[in-house]
A and B are shown apart, each in its own frame.
Chain A
């Protein structure tokens, strides 16, 4: 029987609704045009008139275009000494938002910050995530307030100051400042001063995402509320229960530490077990991933503790059997072998669970080895009850004045209605928000704070580690730094800058200029290590209630808690796992979707659609789409925070649904009273990757450490072609002549073992190369403009070997290969793909106008001004990395993101052309940086140093997965990598001879 042709698709994403009679099921918009047929025929304009108008207007347009516009050149009146127009100036600064700290090097051009690089602070290395990378665009957000507001209308600072000081003086009840954890020591001291001036002043700390469980558990275990710092680089065995530590758990610096101990060249790697419910970035990178239900997590942790007690010859706590006892037994044995070199963590919001985790780490002797109680992380500190108490205080009319600093409780509280009610009882509400959000829209006064890139500041993210924040641009609007506002309201005349310098001089160091230049000041921690004091018995009755359906709320690396929801770069950054942009959705396991009759499917243009469901938690119901996520545990649903903002600006408004309304009791795991039901309706997703598996091809090569140690080329079998010369490498059978190599040969190495798939490089590429944002509709049509994408592939249970062994036919085999493995055995790999700069480039040979050509430095050039937009090159590119400008994104009101207003345009890199409609574009390997470094070397009459030239993606990559350099230089890092037995070329069989090569992924699975 003839097998009916199947469309290229993926798991359960069945192709439906394809009108087989008509290839194009979207009709041409003729009707819209003919709608006015009557008016057209009634018009007095005849065909001849029309031709006359046409002739006149084209002649007029031609004549008008002959006149060249007059361009003005306006120099400074008094040029600042450090600015040379045309050359960048770098400043050390730092970032702290959504409880994430990042150490930065800010690149400015003519006084405008345009790119953020990690300054690699010496304590924990990098730690700049995608949101931090993108925050430079938030500076130029046109939604920012231009002036202070009083009752939603613009006013002056004088009015604000006069009235607020009056209110503060007259207040008899509490004055409250609601803020997330403040890690600025000088601001803290300023607040203390404010307290002494206004005795009824209170500070309530409210972190949007609560880490109360870890803080409280440490209080129980060590007698102090603190968050320790973790050393993943010193851990040989890592067990995580639902903690997404490579992306969103406590500190983004973990990813760098983690990969430091994951280099197979060192002869050893850490082994990482991940027990989790959803598929996270961390789970995708784990050596063994075990999908379990949320309510099972406590059982598994206790079982593990029990096994360890057994190994330690201590009294058992009598736990019940789990489904994965064999795996837990293995984990316990390995942990016991790696005592003092292991790490066990949990993302649970249950204090009891974190106490057990502490007990296990104590039992294994990990404290002061892989977990430090002397150096604390200061980024979280809030107590969950504080905000609840504040609400009741406001309800009881105990609060006169409330001020909101960097928080948005009306959006982020699960019970925001009762908060709004309580808020209405407060007479004076002040917000320091820099743009209108859900909370500040309800405030009487909005005193816009400056963006962090316009502000002075200091931060103390870790014990003994002090960093400064310095302005890199004058405030764009009539906004004022919070600290200056507080000083003013205290009746002081000095400004915060002086206050900060004094504070720094008196408390930190007298060498201000050095800290400012280096960006940090580091002291040895004076803390003594804390003593483990927990003596209570851990018993086995702390199990959480389980139900058929449980909901886990999670953070996406792109949007986070939604503070930057109006940032179009982040909205368009695909989720690392689902590859969906501009959306959040309910993730569900394939098996459960089948049981509930929920589907995802592709429409004829390849775009993904999905069913809608109503999800109810307790009394609240939200209608949202479902996304079928392989690898997710059966019985668990996932929903991302940060979406569903209603008051945020043009890009983020009403994108997705608000998961915070389910964030009951500040717990990311909701296990009770959850109902899901299918409702009519179809949701349209904008997903950048619709294929799930590699279909048996060697796109991402992978091996296991044990095999690698035996044979470093394991998993990296050389592809050989059968030919008249026998079996030869593809490069030995070539139609083309080799290029001359006598200047440089730019190569890039990408270590798939170090890439965690986080996506920071994608945002950095946008910033560096003026890549436009195209919006949901265009992404849905596969017209996304990312020059660099990260492909995610799932493993499949079917391989060619199995098919051969079991005698499965080819059709059946490929059909099965489309399906990702089931949840238990699913493995995930990531692969960043940009232009491979092929030395036998398929795109170059098909361009009819030679707009894409090869350079003698090994780069594949794309010349926009020569391109006529045939798209042959895009069609002929086997890597699908070429992007076509369907529209003039930079000046088109249809694409009203950042490139269309004067403010958003300020983020553009002046060294890179803003591409116009109808031309092809792609990765250039940041040729502007290559040319600049070459020029610098020529000017300084020296050779180029290895590492001097860095592509934006390389600089953004915290884990060091990307290495760029000159392969003509025998000693360069990239030349060394090229000889590494793990290195291979992508789709080598086509003999495109790329300048980019990949290094095999190595997992450390138990053999």
Chain B
């Protein structure tokens, strides 16, 4: 039964993977690029949708191409302030309409980059997103466990019922009921090897039980501490689609993913003073930390700033070295691989076990990117050596102690 269910789950995943592959295949390359650029740079201020759907700036969809020329959009995106200063009429109107909030300048964007983003805005997001599908499968997984328990309890109930019926029948037939325990005792006396076997079984299962218990010590899976600000990843990352890297931007370049500094929050919350769930209460905590008056939209001079003391969820011991950029940048892992569906979490919890076994298992299975020029010379030798096997992290020494412990 269980295997049936799991094969069903597998099928769902395969079909899903197939469709996503197909869909990425059908879209041209620039939309994928545009999507990543959009999520990293634009999504924090703009929804994809009609203009009325405002976040900080207007919602964006294909209407913008009717209102503005491509040339104007280039200028506006690269440096809107300059455009406003140059006295452009449309630009000034927009500026006034949005309470004189200046859009961040992106002078490093090439025309190609902007074209990609605009293409993405024109097409809009794909219908089904990856995270939704994954969540459904995981829910099915947990359902399968529950149903298993239900089936087991039905079976148990049936056995008890049958025994009861048998005894009633024996009573009715006036057949003498043997003492169950006495018969077991005599049987055991006749077969002492069973006792030996049973005690060995008990000892070993006891040991295994101890082992299992001990190995959970220090494992903080599902650790979900209360944070000083009830920050919802679901709203920011899930509903608003802000890219993880927007706030945790050092994940690509440093060992730490980085807790965003308050000035990153203020990029948006200068203008967004009220949240959907908690209203002003939680957002005001940011203002208290940094000394910002939401009514006048100014920073209070000489304010005694108080940093926000977040509670760290993912704690590795000092003796283990972990580098985010290695995994995000070089290996190209998704944040969700280790952190789980953060975009679904109101309050973040530790999704993975973060044990050494968990690390090592992944290193055993994960292939390295042999296209990286760092590996080029070595690659040829490996092909000869491993005869076309997949080269995993393990094979280049990814399981050696001092790769992480130094």
Pick from B308, B319, B397: contact of A864, CB below 8 A: B319
Distance between Cα atoms of A74 and B227 in the complex (Å):
12
- In the complex the two chains form, is A912's CB within 8 Å of B381's CB? no
Contacts A72-B311, A942-B374 given; indicate if A927 touches B402 (C-beta within 8 A). yes
- Per-position binary interface string of chain B over residues 307-332, scored 1 when its CB falls under 8 Å from any chain A CB and 0 otherwise: 11111100101111101011001100
- In the complex the two chains form, is B402's CB within 8 Å of A79's CB? no
Contacts A938-B330, A942-B374 given; indicate if A86 touches B263 (C-beta within 8 A). no
Is B68 an interface residue when CB atoms closer than 8 A count as contact?
no
On chain B, the number of residues with a Cβ less than 8 Å from chain A's Cβ atoms is 54
Contact residues of B between 222 and 269, Cβ < 8 Å to A: 223, 225, 250, 253-256, 258-264
Is A937 an interface residue when CB atoms closer than 8 A count as contact?
yes
Number of residue pairs spanning A and B whose beta carbons lie under 8 angstroms apart? 144
- In the complex the two chains form, is A74's CB within 8 Å of B309's CB? yes
Distance between Cα atoms of A87 and B323 in the complex (Å):
11
Pick from B255, B378, B396, B401: contact of A861, CB below 8 A: B401
Is B66 an interface residue when CB atoms closer than 8 A count as contact?
no
- In the complex the two chains form, is B254's CB within 8 Å of A86's CB? yes
Q: Which residue of chain A has the shortest Cβ distance to B311 in the bound complex? A: A70
Distance (whole angstroms) from the CB of A889 to the closest CB of chain B: 15
Residues of B within 8 A of A935 (CB): 323, 325-326, 330
Residues of A within 8 A of B318 (CB): 913-914
Distance (whole angstroms) from the CB of B231 to the closest CB of chain A: 12
Q: Which residue of chain A has the shortest Cβ distance to B369 in the bound complex? A: A938
Residues of A within 8 A of B400 (CB): 853, 855-856, 861
Distance between Cα atoms of A84 and B256 in the complex (Å):
9
Is B218 an interface residue when CB atoms closer than 8 A count as contact?
yes
Chain B residues within 8 Å of A, Cβ to Cβ: 217-218, 220, 223, 225, 250, 253-256, 258-264, 289-290, 305, 307-312, 315, 317-321, 323, 325-326, 329-330, 372-374, 376-378, 381-382, 385, 396-397, 400-403, 405-406
Chain A residues within 8 Å of B, Cβ to Cβ: 66, 68, 70-79, 84-87, 742-743, 851, 853, 855-857, 859, 861-866, 911-914, 924, 927-928, 931, 934-935, 937-939, 941-944
The main secondary structure of chain A at its interface with chain B is loop
Q: A72-B309, A864-B319, A942-B373 are in contact. List 10 more A-B contacts (CB 8 A).
A: A68-B218, A70-B311, A72-B310, A75-B307, A78-B262, A78-B263, A78-B290, A85-B256, A87-B250, A944-B374
Distance (whole angstroms) from the CB of A869 to the closest CB of chain B: 15
Q: Which residue of chain B has the shortest Cβ distance to A65 in the bound complex? A: B217
Most-contacted residue by chain A among B218, B263, B318, B401 (CB, 10 A)? B401
- In the complex the two chains form, is B308's CB within 8 Å of A941's CB? no
20 contacts between A and B (CB under 8 A): A66-B217, A71-B312, A72-B310, A77-B263, A78-B261, A84-B250, A84-B253, A87-B250, A742-B385, A861-B400, A863-B402, A911-B321, A914-B318, A927-B406, A928-B406, A934-B374, A935-B325, A939-B325, A942-B373, A944-B374
Distance (whole angstroms) from the CB of A554 to the closest CB of chain B: 39
Distance between Cα atoms of A742 and B397 in the complex (Å):
10
The main secondary structure of chain B at its interface with chain A is loop
Distance (whole angstroms) from the CB of B105 to the closest CB of chain A: 15
Q: Which residue of chain B has the shortest Cβ distance to A934 in the bound complex? A: B374
Distance between Cα atoms of A556 and B85 in the complex (Å):
66
Pick from B307, B310, B406: contact of A77, CB below 8 A: B307
Distance (whole angstroms) from the CB of A793 to the closest CB of chain B: 32
Residues of B within 8 A of A75 (CB): 258-262, 307-308, 310
A-B pairs with the 8 shortest C-beta distances? Answer: A861-B402, A86-B254, A863-B401, A79-B261, A86-B255, A76-B261, A75-B259, A73-B312
Distance between Cα atoms of A856 and B382 in the complex (Å):
14
Distance between Cα atoms of A252 and B259 in the complex (Å):
44
Residues of A within 8 A of B223 (CB): 68
- In the complex the two chains form, is B263's CB within 8 Å of A85's CB? no
Distance (whole angstroms) from the CB of B313 to the closest CB of chain A: 9
- In the complex the two chains form, is A84's CB within 8 Å of B405's CB? no
Q: Which residue of chain B has the shortest Cβ distance to A940 in the bound complex? A: B374
Distance between Cα atoms of A953 and B305 in the complex (Å):
42
Residues of A within 8 A of B263 (CB): 76-79
Q: Which residue of chain A has the shortest Cβ distance to B253 in the bound complex? A: A84
Q: Which residue of chain A has the shortest Cβ distance to B329 in the bound complex? A: A939
Q: Which residue of chain A has the shortest Cβ distance to B381 in the bound complex? A: A742
Q: Which residue of chain B has the shortest Cβ distance to A913 in the bound complex? A: B319
Contacts A914-B318, A941-B373 given; indicate if A857 touches B401 (C-beta within 8 A). no
Residues of A within 8 A of B323 (CB): 86, 935
Residues of B within 8 A of A861 (CB): 400-402
- In the complex the two chains form, is A864's CB within 8 Å of B405's CB? yes
Distance (whole angstroms) from the CB of A321 to the closest CB of chain B: 63
Residues of B within 8 A of A864 (CB): 319, 405
Residues of B within 8 A of A941 (CB): 372-374
Distance between Cα atoms of A938 and B289 in the complex (Å):
39
Most-contacted residue by chain A among B317, B377, B382, B402 (CB, 10 A)? B402
